[in-house]
Amino acid sequence: MEFGNSVIPILKSAIRNPKSAMSNVLLLSGSPAKQSRSNTILEYVIKRLNAEGIETTLLGLRDFPAEDLIFAKYDSPAFEPFKASLNAASAVVIATPIYKASLTGGLKALLDVLPQQSFRKKSVLPIATGGTASHLLAIDFAIKPILATLGASDIQQGVFIVDSQFTYTDDGGFTLEAELQERLDAGISQLAESVKQHIAR
């Protein structure tokens, strides 16, 4: 899937069939880098979810004007497709690099433009990658409080990946240490399950 190019089809499908649009998962990358572990991991998550028949939308910092982010222009039209995709999604996967012991400033800026309770009734799988395990607790101390403030109802424990545990492969994918791969796959399965329950309701 092209990075960030799937918003429009999702919105079209939302207009045609609101119930099916509610079953979608929004994936957010917090990395400003072009080639990034966050994006690569999210592409893997997308493949796994699509294989289960779940529709996905991927967005990253590069999909938004930097000035709108920095100046918190919450009413900018550039954020409308993002807000609409989030509104239509029943679950969200957030993958961010750790910058200065926290999520990236760019991702925080993106979450800052959202209206209150934008994550209400949504399941969330947080994923973070960092250069060191010392910032393992950033998911608990930095990311989860933001998700809770936005009203997320079901926040998973999350997956923290240290760069040394992640290896890019020649085909554009990656390998992880076995135990970590299991944890990531379990997180994806749990998310898929909650999306399917949402569809069944």
CA distance 82 to 88: 10
Q: Among 8, 101, 148, 186, indicate the residue that binds ligand FMN (CB under 6 A).
A: 101
Task: Quote the DSSP letter at residue 115.
Answer: P
The strand pairing partners of 57, in sequence order, are: 26
- Nearest to ligand FMN of 37, 198 (CB atom): 37
* From 113-121, 129-137, 148-156, 177-185, span contacting ligand FMN (CB under 6 A): 129-137
Q: Among 130, 139, 143, 191, indicate the residue that binds ligand FMN (CB under 6 A).
A: 130
Q: Does residue 36 interact with ligand FMN by CB under 6 A?
A: yes
Burial state string for 102-134 with b = 16 or more CB within 10 A and e = fewer than 16? bbbbbbbbbbebbeeebbeebbbbbbbbbeeee
Q: Among 100, 120, 148, 189, indicate the residue that binds ligand FMN (CB under 6 A).
A: 100
Map residue 153 onto helix, strand or coil.
Answer: coil
Write out the residues near ligand FMN by the rule CB under 6 A: 31, 33, 36-38, 97-101, 129-132, 135, 163
